[in-house]
Amino acid sequence: MTGRRVVITGMEVLAPGGVGTSAFWDLISNGRTATRGITFFDPSPFRSRVAAEMDFDAEAHGLSPQEIRRMDRAAQFAVVAARGAVADSGIDLGAEDPYRVGVTVGSAVGATMGLDQEYRVVSDSGRLHLVDYDYAVPHLYNYLVPSSFTAEVAWAVGAEGPSTVVSTGCTSGIDSVGYAADLIREGSVDLMIAGATDAPISPITVACFDAIKATTPRYDDPEHASRPFDGTRNGFVLGEGAAVFVLEEYERARARGAHVYAEIAGYATRSNAYHMTGLRPDGAEMAEAIRVALDQARMNPDEIDYVNAHGSGTKQNDRHETAAVKRVLGEHAYRTPMSSIKSMVGHSLGAIGSIEIAASALAIENNLV
């Protein structure tokens, strides 16, 4: 590692309640919620019937009819967000060495909506055991391979450096940005277009979370269904969205007069090797990741001013995360603001980590928790 500092100089957020960073910040800073009853399909057969859906018009946001046909909804999010982040950064990528510009995109479930929709088409809504591929869209293979997400983003911005999909479940959006920062620190690239996207609001996803009772059955009051850390919480609300950033080395950003939103001073990831969906109540492995990230940033626990929590609204997660923060911050945890934006924009699976990075950077930018 060269020890180079990594900063965020551009961002774009696509989230429920408003497409664009300013609309996203307006929503969360004013405490509004974008959760509602599911409208993308008939939710009546399901246990959980609420979601944080995004009102997204791909053509209105610059995608051509060919791009719209070729790309799954999640890929569309990623491309629109990437173009927005590059524009926000003020950088001319055409003047850069394309081999020194990389892309990382996090996604937990890939092209779920496209695959779900196309299965219904080729199976005649499940009637055909042997599906008829003649009815499939010509780009169905792109839905199957998540690497198509980074390919689309790389084509959109002209990046020819490392191109990677990071799929680590709900931490995909954090791990994607962390990996990108590491590539800059080690000197492998000069710039990274990094973030995450997911568009999982489909019958198959809702059925999967129904099966493990992770999502809330509270559909009589959709706007208040997601209740992180509340005594009446009973599961998360599924969401969708994307956030993409331009990352670059600090001295380089300063030399070109770039606006810096935040520095990525420390990053760490750990696995509990415990259960596919279960969490230990002591939060030990999360605490270790926090401790290592603090060490990397050369910060003491009492220097932390705010914790942006995963805060999914499941009893298991909220206990686990609370225990982890207290384990590392000690008494300072009781004086440190901690909140979850999932009460407003839902849980967009792999995308939410990047969206929460954006929320944290904007909290710094606007001096507002």
**From 27-41, 276-290, 345-359, the region with the lowest mean pLDDT:** 276-290
User: Which DSSP category does 267 fall into?
Assistant: -
What number is the average pLDDT over the span 45-71?
96
The domain containing residue 183 runs over which residues? Answer: 6-272+341-366
306 assigned to some structural domain: no
331 assigned to some structural domain: no
**Coil/strand/helix, residue 354:** helix
CA distance 88 to 114: 29
The catalytic position among 61, 139, 332, 347 is 347
324 assigned to some structural domain: no
What number is the average pLDDT over the span 129-145?
92
Percent of the chain with pLDDT over 90: 95
Residues 6+ apart with CB under 8 A from 277: 212, 214
- Contact 9/261 with Cβ under 8 angstroms? yes
Verify whether residue 170 is a known catalytic residue. yes
What local confidence, expressed as pLDDT, does residue 2 receive?
Answer: 52
Short-list 10, 364, 357, 365, CA closest to 175 = 357
Mean pLDDT computed over every residue of the chain: 95
288: confidence class by pLDDT, cuts 50, 70, 90: very high
Could you give the number of structural domains in the chain?
Answer: 1
The catalytic position among 139, 208, 259, 310 is 310
CATH of the domain at 201: 3.40.47.10
- Contact 324/213 with Cβ under 8 angstroms? no
Say if residue 162's pLDDT is above 50: yes
Say if residue 1's pLDDT is above 50: no
250 assigned to some structural domain: yes
122: confidence class by pLDDT, cuts 50, 70, 90: very high
Percent of the chain with pLDDT over 70: 99
pTM recorded for the entire structure = 0.96
Query: Could you tell me the CA-to-CA distances from 151 to 24, 54, 145, 214, 252 in Å, in that order?
Result: 26, 24, 11, 32, 26
What does the pLDDT look like over 73-82, one tens digit per residue?
A: 999 999 999 9
185 assigned to some structural domain: yes
What does the pLDDT look like over 182-236, one tens digit per residue?
A: 999 999 999 999 999 999 999 999 999 999 999 999 999 999 999 999 999 999 9
What number is the average pLDDT over the span 160-187?
97
13 assigned to some structural domain: yes
What number is the average pLDDT over the span 164-190?
97
Say if residue 261's pLDDT is above 60: yes
Verify whether residue 310 is a known catalytic residue. yes
249: its two tokens: 């080395």
What local confidence, expressed as pLDDT, does residue 278 receive?
Answer: 82
The catalytic position among 129, 170, 224, 332 is 170
316 assigned to some structural domain: no
What does the pLDDT look like over 181-192, one tens digit per residue?
A: 999 999 999 999
37 assigned to some structural domain: yes
Verify whether residue 347 is a known catalytic residue. yes
What number is the average pLDDT over the span 127-154?
93
